[in-house]
Structure 1
């Protein structure tokens, strides 16, 4: 549970709680469509020990995005590509935010004298003139 405490509260849960019939009703897609989307890798519901699909809030959000892309005229292979690129972009954005925060922390840890000397050196100024 400690790993979940750092997670953004706005992100949908990945805990599989909905059966396929409930997921179909909530998403507006038929059961056959949900199976097809899983076959194409557009969603990956969790499975119980007996093999029963369990859909999460994350899966339902993903199905909402699938519906948007279908409405935009994108085919299932294209939808898979778009979803993959969106996922990868999200990872890169998280990495960039983390790196920016790390850089800000490193800058804050520098002493003002070190910062001034570094800035003067980068500008080509003679540090002895300060």
Structure 2
């Protein structure tokens, strides 16, 4: 079972619980040091979108609470609500892209491991097959090169 701790107004969770809808609006408002009506307004504006339980009751995640705090800080620094919405939108997009990049990197590592140190071959200038080390390029005697990777 995943756990979370609240220390002061800081919510500590493991990564699997970061987006889990854990808090009712009154608890989220207290953690973010905001009034519950402010959270409702931010929800209507699309700044923070909590999940709904039973279609009606808002449930906020630790990530939502982090965003509420960030909204409050940016607002106090003079950023407009529309500017804050755009900042959050861009941050969410960056987070999605980082997750996608991590997934693609892990797929690439898995593919490389499944090939098990495969070698790269090229056709030499006289039609002969030349073995190359990974990262090595064939010497170009012409502009045509044919590459083939063994599929062990």
Give the TM-score normalised by the residue count of structure 1.
0.71
Paired residue secondary structure (2:119): helix
Count of matched residue pairs? 119
Aligned to 1:14: 20
Structure having the higher Rg: 2
Q: Is the deviation greater in 112-121 or in 68-77? A: 112-121
Give the conservation status (yes or no) of the 8 Å contact 2:132–2:138.
Answer: no
More relative contact order in 1 or in 2 (CA 8 Å, sep 6+)?
1
Question: Could you list the runs of 5+ residues in structure 2 that have no partner in the other structure?
Answer: 2-12, 122-130, 141-152
Question: Could you list the runs of 5+ residues in structure 1 that have no partner in the other structure?
Answer: 2-7
**Structure 1: 4+ residue segments shifted above 4 A:** 118-122
More helix by share: 1
Give the conservation status (yes or no) of the 8 Å contact 1:16–1:56.
Answer: yes
* Partner Cα separation in structure 2 for residue 50 and residue 111 of structure 1: 51
| CA RMSD across the alignment | 3.0
